[in-house]
Amino acid sequence: MTKPEQKISGGLIPVALTHCVEYEYKAVHKAVRDCLQAIHFAPSTGAKVLVKPNLLKADSNGLCCTNPIVVEAVCENLLDYGCSVVVGDSPAFGSAVSVARSIGLLEGLERLNVPLVTLDSPKCVRFESGTSIGISRIALECDMLLNVPRMKAHTQMRATFAVKNLFGCVSGVRKAIAHSTHGDKANAFRELLVDVALALPESVSVVDGITCMHKTGPSDGEPYSLGLIGAAGDPVSLDTALYSVLDCSVDEIPLWGELQRKNVPGAFEKQLEYVLATPQEFDGSGFILPFQLAPETFHPVRLMHSGLKRLWKRYLCP
């Protein structure tokens, strides 16, 4: 991930928010381009960029995943910069290809000749906290990550955006195991989310906030039209901006509280500079967050069911 100290030395961290009210390709492409230009995005020609959308699971309406038009627009902008682009994720169920097919993403990637991969081949990464986890070598070895989350409510985190989306770089069932081993310890799972985000290469985040998921999540929620595309040079700053859009307090968002506890740059509103629209220009007043949070741990039976379902989809459902 981009070293936060470099982003704020001598000034504030630029965050770009812009209005985009529908998934019309030209409008989305322009919104993504405007945001990237506004934060002075300037990748090296030929840079190997991993685009990391949220491909949670196969879903006919696609609301639990990043909208394919946003992913396609991000990829085309990167190609315009001369980057070498691949799209990847490690879905909760199935492969990246099976999820992408279900939401209509494959056609756009084929048009752009951009490959799609499942983020497997894990490498054990150890953190200063003493914990470790297997992160995909594909994510660890790219020159840059372009993180493309969807704004969603979450029954365990209350709301999740860019930082949580990077947890998808953890390979396969290790994510569910981490819930089971860390979720019942105070702050442990949230600390792991932060550790994973900070362990990754330089990352820029572009958020799909055109139609969000609210009321519940990370799946089976309801649509909320916010009409927003945003970008920042690190996931923490973008998340802080989006919490402001929804008028959240740090006490409401456990992960935000952990980021501030660790004093991660970008976790404080006073460190941000809005270079396009401000949070107050978006109407997040009707976005409903889960009131009571579910435990962050997974019951062993649920973990076993998840593992069996993954095997079924991998070996019997190509």
For 21-30, the pLDDT digits (tens) are 999 999 999 9
Please state, in angstroms and rounded to a whole number, the distance separating the CA atoms of residues 141 and 200: 9
Check residue 158 and give its pLDDT.
95
Using CA atoms in the order 5, 6, 8, 13, what is the torsion angle rounded to 10 degrees? Answer: -120
Q: CA 225 to CA 284: how far, in whole Å?
A: 9
**pLDDT at residue 2 above 50?**
no
pLDDT in tens, 96-138: 999 999 999 999 999 999 999 999 999 999 998 889 999 999 9
Is residue 197 very low, low, confident or very high in pLDDT (cuts 50, 70, 90)? Answer: very high
**Predicted confidence (pLDDT) per residue in 34-90, tens digit:** 999 999 999 999 999 999 999 999 987 889 999 999 999 999 999 999 999 999 999
Share of the chain above pLDDT 70, in %: 86
pLDDT at 186: 53
CA–CA gap between residue 312 and residue 126 (Å, rounded): 31
pLDDT at 124: 94
Distances (CA, A) of 111 to 27, 74, 75, 76: 18, 14, 11, 10
Q: What type of residue sits at position 259?
A: L
Quote the pLDDT of residue 3.
41
Confidence of residue 94 (pLDDT cuts 50, 70, 90): confident
Sign of CA dihedral 243, 90, 30, 43: positive
Q: What is the pLDDT of residue 1?
A: 46
Work out the pLDDT band at 12, boundaries 50, 70, 90: very high
pLDDT cut 90: percent of the chain above it: 77
The pLDDT value given to residue 316: 35
Is residue 268's pLDDT more than 90? Answer: yes
Tens of pLDDT, residues 137-188: 999 999 999 999 999 999 999 999 999 999 999 987 767 676 556 544 557 8
DSSP conformational letter for 266:
T
DSSP string computed for 70-100: HHHHHHHHHHHTT-EEEEEE--SSS-HHHHH
**pLDDT above 90 (res 259):** yes
Cα(290)–Cα(239) distance, rounded to whole angstroms?
A: 18
What is residue 312's predicted lDDT score, i.e. its pLDDT? 38
Round to whole Å and give the CA distance between 159 and 257.
12
Domain 11-307 class?
alpha beta
